[in-house]
A and B are shown apart, each in its own frame.
Chain A
């Protein structure tokens, strides 16, 4: 059951990215280009997603189990530290360079775009570097 519901959630997420236009890096960069001719679409994607998310997480916060009875794990970290900020800044630079963040890159990969294959391979390599550095540290 958790596998089926995860498949459904991933599918709906991907459909949302395609419908919203966010699977196209050129459209994302149109939002990030405040000084050029600005496309505000991404802001409306966030408004739509957060409007639903606010209700869902308000419900989730009052529960310790999912509707299917499995443990409900909400993040516990609250620290605003150097790791969070430096990591997010690096992510933002990469996002601004190509217009891809992880979700849209995977959806574009599903469309068979060769450039998305290259981006996702590099992204996995970057995540692998993080794992290696974390293991050395730990």
Chain B
């Protein structure tokens, strides 16, 4: 294994992770909910009374984060290399998959592992494994 020391950002990533953990803590202790992005978003497609406001508010916070971040320091721009067709296919797979699997990196990965849930551990191993395998095939077998 060949570590990319130039790309590795241990302190910023650890600190960002702590913020994500703080968010999950706030959300479970104040709202009584799991901070799982796919569930918060997907639940809007099954609207129920009293169940819409907090979902929209959470998503608004997420969408507004770059604006607030910019008040303190420059926002690092994301690098998105995928082409349009790949983005559409990937989006469809992430949408269907996270709803069937009942969670994504946040709900299963962060919250589920923090709850020591075997179900979330199985889901996390499945999507991480599939992610590693997909990138391996794309970059090292097909040569993209």
Contacts and interface: CB of A to CB of B under 8 A. Distances in A.
Nearest to A117: B87
A70 B76 contact: no
User: Chain A at the B interface: mostly helix, strand, loop or mixed?
Assistant: helix
A79 to B, nearest CB: 7
Given A18-B66, A90-B96, A110-B66, A38 B2 contact: yes
Interface in A101-128: 101-111, 113, 115-116, 118-128
A21 B91 contact: no
Contacts of A48: 13-21
Interface in A56-115: 56-57, 59-61, 63, 65-68, 70-75, 77-80, 83-111, 113, 115
28 contacts: A3-B57, A10-B23, A12-B19, A13-B19, A17-B16, A21-B16, A23-B78, A34-B135, A36-B140, A49-B21, A49-B114, A50-B110, A52-B25, A53-B111, A86-B100, A87-B100, A92-B129, A93-B130, A93-B131, A100-B90, A101-B37, A102-B98, A110-B65, A111-B66, A111-B77, A113-B80, A122-B88, A122-B89
Interface of B: 1-4, 7-10, 12-35, 37-38, 41-42, 45-46, 53-55, 57-69, 75-82, 84, 86-106, 108-119, 122-124, 126-136, 138-140
